[in-house]
Chain A
Amino acid sequence: MVLKSELEARGLKIEEYELLKKKLNREPTDIELDIAGAMWSEHCSYKSSKLHLKKFPTTGKYVVIGPGENAGVVDVGDGFVAAFKMESHNHPSFIEPYQGAATGVGGILRDVFTMGARPVLNLDALFFGHPDYEKTKFLVDGVVRGVGDYGNCVGVPTVGGQTTFDECYNTNNLVNAFTLGIGKKDNIFLGVAKGVGNPVFYVGSKTGRDGIHGATMASSSFDENYEEERPAVQVGDPFTEKLLLEACLELMSRDVIEGIQDMGAAGLTSSSFEMAERGKVGLNLYLDRVPVREKMTPNEIMLSESQERMLIIAKKGKEDEVKKIFDKWSLDAEVIGEVIEDKSIKLFWDNNLVADIDVSLMVDNAPVYNRPTKKPEYIKDIENFDFETLKEPDDYNGVLLKLLSSPDLSSKHLLYEQYDSTVQTNTILKPGSDAAVIRIKETGKGISATTDVNPRYVYINPYKGTRLAFIEAYRNLITVGSKPIAITDCLNFGNPENPEIMWQFAKATDGLADICKDMDVPVVSGNVSFYNETAGSNIYPTPTVGMVGIMNKPLNAPSVSLKNENSFVYLAGVIKDGELGGSMYLKWIFDKVCGKLPSINEELHKNLYMFMNSCVDANIINAAHDVSDGGIAVCLAEMCMASGLGVEVNLLIHERVDFYLFSETQGAVVIETSNARKLEENADKFDIPLLKIGVVKGNSLKINNVVDIEVEKLRKENNRLFEKLFK
């Protein structure tokens, strides 16, 4: 009988041990337990989420490769593809923010370039606790430096993302890193082992003891002794990553390899088992040939999560060519095994067989849980809040300034100025825009990308809130004139063994599946992060949506910054009064998280897409910004602050002013144009309600007779928090 503590150390449940024993028909050995612990961890096996992820639509006109590979791949025209994925690195980033965030970026970069795509764009979605919480400042500083240093050094621009603050992340901050790469459609590589007799190459950094049990750590909750997990956090080396990136891409430009996979979570274990499984083959691995930094046991080598390593199946006879390329880039490349017919992973040490493990036992037979769900008690009344009970403010200048200085709406420029957002000379829309836009030099066309979620919406109503995350991302992409074509998701939730958390997860995935189908934007990759729980306290459900779009004329993409004095400001779409549930206004002015969520008009969004697309193609838009967090008042303020110019607008407010100004209505875009006639024609053509609301003028934001604030004053309040955080 294996001791309970031995199972716990590996993150295995007793019933999982029993399952393993039954399949083997004997007691498992130590190394079999180690490997099962890693492969059957939530992080690697998706055992709690698998059943729910099946709901997502994963095919469509643009999809080349859907979920299941290292990254999803979509067709972006002219023989080019974009590979992209978003992944969480939450647990490590709480224990060791700098390395945790840095290695998060490193991992997602490798997922993308293993596909044969050169990374051209990074985004990061960050969620921190309240700025006043004791650890927040330390975490923000470490995470931002980590994200920045890694991407900056590798030379991939970090062009956008989001930063959200809420008490629910005090002891579980989230780091969701997104990378998109561009490759050739006829030169995509997969994580597959094939061709019996082909050599297995280990390339990149040497293996050390760092990150052992990282996948297991990421698959459990924290208790008060979380500091003890520090050794499970990996250490990043972006310089080696850069070399690995260039060496791999050079390798892929020749006909020398069959398959390639990053050694990510669970290191050599998951890469070897997954590649063998996909190719329906086995592998002999001679572990004593693995380049190591220190003396290590076979078990440790299999479980190490040392960074910047790849497993490659080369073509037989091409060994020297592979070695020569890695030699040029000063990297280790060792043949550590070969592909075999027998579908098992055979581990050798000094030519002695130390383990022989059936591939499908670990991959196919991993447990799948249909975990029980239970509607949480809090859900019952949370949407039943009467907004009329809120006292209407008498000083709208004061309320707007307070909103602009709130953590979520504060200017993040001091944060993103630590990221190189223009290296590679393709960046058209920089951080601070509705969406990131880059051009593809080879085709002249563009790619847009954004990440979005309002976790408070999702907490109030997981189904609708997740749909809102999607529609916000969709609106961000269409506002810059692009066509949304696919998403990646990063589903960050609490403890799945808690039926109430599982209920949130089930509803959220229902919501995402439904709206993806409705809007014809499939899911091509993604990641699930459970156990974002510390000492029994769970985060708000946070399904981050990373959406990618394509555009014909990226140079026309409008920024949020107003351009010309005396040009007209229009409102396209519809503002619905009182869409205040889960809003910034409720959270940061009244400290409330409740109320009926905003409604979604899908048809309006589809029409808005066509309208914006034709306007941007015709280059008649000077600036555009969608109405979202904080409502139209914040939207207009942001357009002013980005430029320094003022606006005078007159809005058709019929009822309470706050219900209009701060309504997080879904389906409105503010547009500055110098070609009013053409804009109006297009609105008619695509059946878009369009209203001239004002003019760019002076240096103050003036809304009806209720708001009148100098732009400099807006900026000052907007900058206050981050000046303090980064001091």
Chain B
Amino acid sequence: MRVAIIQFLGTNCDFDCKYACDCMGIESEFVWHDEGELKNFDCVILPGGFSYGDYLRSGALAKFSSIMNAVKSFAKYGGYVLGICNGFQILTESGLLTGTLLKNTNLKFIHKDVYLKVENSVCGFAQDIEKKVLKMPIAHGEGNYFCSVDQLKYLEDNNMIVLRYSSKDGSVEDEFNLNGSLGNIAGICNEKGNVFGLMPHPERAVGDLGHDGEEIWKSLLK
């Protein structure tokens, strides 16, 4: 497994993703945003941060960078793509994932450890861990997942909802939904399950900092 970690201007979780890969024994390499190709990689990570400042709308400018064309064709041919936080926002902006991420309902940045219920899904990054509850931090101002009723039905019918904010024992209730996401959605994938976006940070719950994040990274070892 060889992982490409994309660096946009303003990305700030690139080194954290590399740290997580190193911890898990996964080979990884940084790829600059102006590259046009992704050669010899098995997986691409779009890390968190504030690409281009996110002044317009999170991810709205990153989608125009030349690497995103490469990411799109990489995904189209079945390559694994993982978007974390700002990476998730870039994936929805690019149309690789359904829906969008709005401002948190309290209009504030929220950084907090949350519990996530792993749903039964087609997601290639979350097989073998269904029904588990994982603890890891969120850190975002725009993580309020939203989509149309039809889109939600599409996600549900095709088992594309991967993570939902929940209690410690996995109960999905309003009170555990800190940012206002539709259906407590914290992460979704595409129809084929090879593109996965999530707002929480699995790279921050690895090694000495926790083990729940490792459950996501482990999928890259298979």
Tell me the A residues contacting B by CB distance below 8 Å: 145, 148-149, 152-155, 237-240, 242-243, 329-330, 417-425, 439, 441, 555, 726
B12's partner among A145, A154, A555 (CB-CB below 8 A) is A154
0 or 1 for each of B12-36: is its CB under 8 Å from A? (1 = yes): 1101100110000000000000000
Residues from chain B with a CB closer than 8 A to the CB of A424 are 15-16
By the criterion CB–CB under 8 Å, are B10 and A421 in contact?
A: no
By the criterion CB–CB under 8 Å, are A153 and B10 in contact?
A: yes
By the criterion CB–CB under 8 Å, are B111 and A242 in contact?
A: no
Residues from chain B with a CB closer than 8 A to the CB of A152 are 50, 109, 111, 139, 141
A155 to B51, CA, bound (A): 11
Closest to B178 in A: A417
Most buried by A among B54, B55, B108, B206: B108
A422 to B137, CA, bound (A): 8
Tell me the B residues contacting A by CB distance below 8 Å: 9-10, 12-13, 15-16, 19-20, 48-50, 52-55, 106, 108-112, 137, 139, 141, 201, 203-204, 206, 208-209
A509–chain B nearest beta-carbon distance, Å: 37
By the criterion CB–CB under 8 Å, are A422 and B208 in contact?
A: no
By the criterion CB–CB under 8 Å, are B111 and A441 in contact?
A: no
By the criterion CB–CB under 8 Å, are B9 and A153 in contact?
A: no
A-B contact pairs, 15 of them (CB 8 A): A145-B109, A152-B50, A155-B49, A240-B53, A242-B12, A243-B9, A417-B112, A419-B109, A420-B111, A422-B209, A423-B13, A423-B16, A425-B20, A425-B204, A425-B209
By the criterion CB–CB under 8 Å, are A242 and B10 in contact?
A: yes
A242–chain B nearest beta-carbon distance, Å: 6
By the criterion CB–CB under 8 Å, are A425 and B108 in contact?
A: no
By the criterion CB–CB under 8 Å, are A422 and B111 in contact?
A: yes
B180–chain A nearest beta-carbon distance, Å: 16
By the criterion CB–CB under 8 Å, are A726 and B108 in contact?
A: yes
By the criterion CB–CB under 8 Å, are A238 and B50 in contact?
A: yes
Residues from chain B with a CB closer than 8 A to the CB of A149 are 109, 141
B52–chain A nearest beta-carbon distance, Å: 7
Q: How many A-B residue pairs have CB under 8 A?
A: 77
A155 to B47, CA, bound (A): 12
A243 to B9, CA, bound (A): 7
A564–chain B nearest beta-carbon distance, Å: 18
By the criterion CB–CB under 8 Å, are B203 and A239 in contact?
A: no
A517–chain B nearest beta-carbon distance, Å: 38
By the criterion CB–CB under 8 Å, are A422 and B13 in contact?
A: no
By the criterion CB–CB under 8 Å, are B204 and A422 in contact?
A: yes
Residues from chain B with a CB closer than 8 A to the CB of A243 are 9-10
By the criterion CB–CB under 8 Å, are B52 and A420 in contact?
A: no
Given contacts A152-B139, A239-B10, contact A441 B19 (CB under 8 A): yes
By the criterion CB–CB under 8 Å, are B111 and A417 in contact?
A: yes
Closest to A240 in B: B53
Residues from chain A with a CB closer than 8 A to the CB of B9 are 239, 242-243, 329-330
By the criterion CB–CB under 8 Å, are B55 and A239 in contact?
A: yes
By the criterion CB–CB under 8 Å, are B109 and A239 in contact?
A: no
Given contacts A238-B50, A239-B50, contact A418 B109 (CB under 8 A): yes
A341–chain B nearest beta-carbon distance, Å: 40
Closest to B107 in A: A145
Most buried by B among A153, A421, A423, A726: A423
B13's partner among A148, A155, A726 (CB-CB below 8 A) is A155
Most buried by A among B49, B54, B109: B109
A642–chain B nearest beta-carbon distance, Å: 13
Known: A423-B204, A425-B20, A425-B203. 8 other contacts (CB 8 A): A149-B141, A153-B53, A155-B49, A238-B50, A239-B50, A424-B15, A425-B204, A555-B208
